[in-house]
Structure 1
Amino acid sequence: TAGSTNMEVKAVSQEMAMLSNILAAYTFIADQPERTALVFLGGVCVGLLVTLCAIVFQIHCRADCHYAAGTGRAGDSETEDYDPADLSARRRRHFERALLHATMFTSAEELDRTQRLEERERILQEIWMNRQSDISTITQSLNRYY
């Protein structure tokens, strides 16, 4: 029974320590709201920056992997002749391909929705053009009377 009471005392002391830490954190936040808000916004900004870096890294790696899988040739004469300008141009092309693949339609629904939106825009443009021609004929006919 002495072991069980010792465990209970440890559990209660851990709960009290946690409660004490929670109260200390609340007191700190209540006493310094500006500093707390600054730390929170700093954390959000760092998180967004890390996310942006991860996305850029993923696009870059996807382009490199796609290029390596597409060529299927390891150690050919092009890679042995090191040309920095050619390498940067190749990396730019890989990045553009990765962006193209990222923006391609992933489903038939998206393709259908996009086609309907383009058709709607075309119809609205035709209506606008017809309206412009109607307005010009009205102003021409009004000019005759004045």
Structure 2
Amino acid sequence: MLLLCLLLTPVAALAQPATDPTPPQFTDRTEERRFNSLVAELRCVMCQNQSLADSNAQIAVDLRREVLELMQQGRSDAEIKEFLVARYGEFVLYRPQVGARTWLLWFGPLLLLVIGGVVLAHVVRQRGGGQPVADDEDQEW
């Protein structure tokens, strides 16, 4: 088993990130700007923390190609996003729509901040509600 791992190690070292063998062909500068803007707003489903524009994963290459094809078919940005959300879920959007399924994502941090403030105010009131500290006449300052 160890011998097999040692034999396969050089192969893994030679692995290269996926590159698009045929770069996208845009009809005009406006289409290129729209494409770049759109793929910057979409998340790579494999990398999870990179946009489609930044990712070198093979699925990102395929999705970039598919986005361009959908654009050239005349679909709007919203239709392209809906298509990708239907396939991959809300995760593919960097800024998911505010809705019943995503309200906690959008308002959860604010809710936690409010709860923390209420708890902090309650603790401060509990500790501050006691007797005032009496002067210690034996203490020399």
- Give the TM-score normalised by structure 1: 0.39
Asked which structure has the greater RCO (Cα within 8 Å, sep 6+), the reply is: 1
Higher radius of gyration, 1 or 2: 1
Q: Which is richer in helix?
A: 1
- Give the TM-score normalised by structure 2: 0.40
